[in-house]
Structure 1
Amino acid sequence: MSAPDPSPRARTALWVRILLFLSLAFNLLVIGLIVGAVTSSGPMERFGRVPADANRTPYVAALDAEDRRGLSRQLRRELRKDRPTVTEWRGSFATALDLLRATPFDAEAFDRHMRTQLDRQAVRVEAGRSALVAYVAEMSEAERAAYATRLEALIERGPYRLKRKDGKGRKGEGREGGN
């Protein structure tokens, strides 16, 4: 057996250690940015506003990207003043939670509160419908025909979330036991 080498190891140069530290710090920064982007609640909430209704109807989804952006800008302008802040939105649901946890449960108060929430949502839906109709009315005949073709294709394809991977309809359709 050979004896361990008694000579001391040379120290790594200071500039190499600094470079390794900076490289590690940069890698951690990049990982932090990626994790933050994936787990964040979105830019609208960071700016103190409740995001616009994210549910896209086939009518909106069939618009081309430029038309969707134009419609979105128009709606943001119209709805900006009536849009609740995140604090107001959360407060409304906090009230609903309080009503649900109350003993005894007051069904009428809970119903009134839900109706108030739905009325606010209905105003936004109506504004969206009205803006879409006005937007389509401004299209040329060729643009409307192309829009109708995209809408038809979208309807034929159906909601992607309900399609099975093999494209044969909803999960569970046509199979024994419904699953």
Structure 2
Amino acid sequence: MSDPSGEHKAPRRGARGLKIALGLSLGLNLLIVGLVVGAVTSIGSGRPMGDDDPRLRSLGLGPFAIALPRDERQAVTDRIDRAALRADRREMGQAMADLRAALLSEPFDRAAAEAALNRSRDAASAAQGQGHRALLDHLETLDATERAALVERLGRALRRMGGRDGGR
């Protein structure tokens, strides 16, 4: 089609790349916000849990979210320092906002993006470390029979998750 004004406008350079970056940024922001809000609001909410507790998975305890009985999952989450966990999740959110800014910068600011990703990784690692400590504190309270029963349930949980990790 022709321009009714009779003027020919040159296509803007980088407009397509900017649209892609904005779309990716929006998707990433929605994912992070959903994860952070869901995790922060679910810990200590008293909501009933199914077989698989996302609160424990978000703390790096994948198969234990399935293998631990409900009361033991609650015992683990009760050991979590909620204020520290919220701080870690806030840091992850801020790091993602900083990553978004780095993605939108022209030219691309690799150093800022790398710093944001490193901060996000460190905060996620701190949250997982807290989950691991809470799990170990709980496991320490179990007697040999309870630990053996947990090992059996853990084996079933790992088989159940086999489709995700190739059965290993």
Settle same-fold status: TM greater than 0.5. yes
When the two chains are superposed, the root-mean-square deviation of aligned CA atoms in Å is: 3.2
Q: Percent identity?
A: 20
- How has the CA–CA distance of structure 1 residues 141 and 124 changed in structure 2, closer, same or farther, with 3 Å as cutoff? same
- The structure that has the greater radius of gyration is 1
In the other structure, the counterpart of 2:65 is: 60
CA-CA distance at 1:158 after TM superposition: 2.4
In the other structure, the counterpart of 1:153 is: 156
Structure having greater relative contact order (Cα 8 Å, sep ≥ 6): 2
- How has the CA–CA distance of structure 1 residues 104 and 126 changed in structure 2, closer, same or farther, with 3 Å as cutoff? same
Runs of at least 4 residues of structure 1 off by over 6 A?
Answer: 85-88
Please list, as runs of the form range in 1=range in 2, the aligned pairs for 1:16-35 lying within 5 A after superposition.
none
Q: Secondary structure at the match of 2:131?
A: helix
Q: Secondary structure at the match of 1:105?
A: coil
How many residues align? The count is 119
- For 1:118 and 1:131, the matched residues in 2 are separated by 20
Unaligned runs of 5+ in 2: 1-33, 44-53
In the other structure, the counterpart of 1:103 is: 106
CA-CA distance at 1:96 after TM superposition: 1.2
Q: Does 2:131 correspond to 1:128?
A: yes
Unaligned runs of 5+ in 1: 1-40, 164-168, 171-179
- Residue type at the aligned position of 1:58: P
Taking structure 1 as the reference length, the TM-score comes to 0.55
